[in-house]
Amino acid sequence: MSALYDLGVRVAAMKPVESGGTSDSQQLRHAAGDVFPAELVTPVSLPDPVAPLLAARRAHRTIELDVLDRAFTTLHEASDMIVVEGAGGLLVPLTPTVHIGDLFRRWELELIIVAVNRLGAVNHTLLTIDAARALGLRVRAVVLNTVVRDAPSADDPIALDTNQSLIAELRDVPVYRFPHLDGATRTADHRAAGRDLVEWLRAQ
């Protein structure tokens, strides 16, 4: 993950609820320079790798929205910008009546949709854009993430090359194709790719 602290401003990163371990929140915290404590970056952490509502029930807990609100407000007031990562998708439930999209609307956030660039990406990306707009959220951009699969032939290479333009055309939204980066890629290349993405987002 490209370092958020490379952006030249004080950036807070947050994953309000994480289920199935703390690897995502640890990476976010590190990317933001380890400035803010873990309990603010991820105020609710649940052990089971399932939707937060179910994970909370299995842990005999309730996700309290006021706890999330307080952490967000603290980070927002202490930073120049805040990046909030969702959990599994826009409509993933936090409580029986509140999902991730509701939380983003509550906090008046703009949305960057990240999807794996593969066959099928057009359908679920368009569905997410439509759901976000129905909630009154502004979709700032779509980022198509390039991954390498054990069986590349399972994905249609035509789809990989055309998803970007088709999504942009059908929903009038900027779409960025992020390159594949793995553990063998140099840290400098990770950061360069991240900076390129940020500069592109700033131009939108």
The residues carrying an active-site annotation are 15
Q: Are 89 and 135 in contact (CB under 8 A)?
A: no
Under DSSP, the state recorded for 74 is H
Can you read off the two tokens belonging to residue 140?
A: 């700032």
Main-chain dihedrals φ then ψ at residue 87, nearest 5 degrees: -145, 85
Is residue 68 within 8 A of residue 43, CB to CB? The reply is: yes
CA gyration radius for the chain?
A: 17
Q: How many CB atoms lie within 10 A of CB 88?
A: 15
C-alpha angle 190-195-201 in degrees, rounded to nearest 5: 130
Token pair 């980022």 is found at: 143
CB atoms within 10 A of CB 126: 16
Answer whether 173's CB lies under 8 Å from 158's CB. no
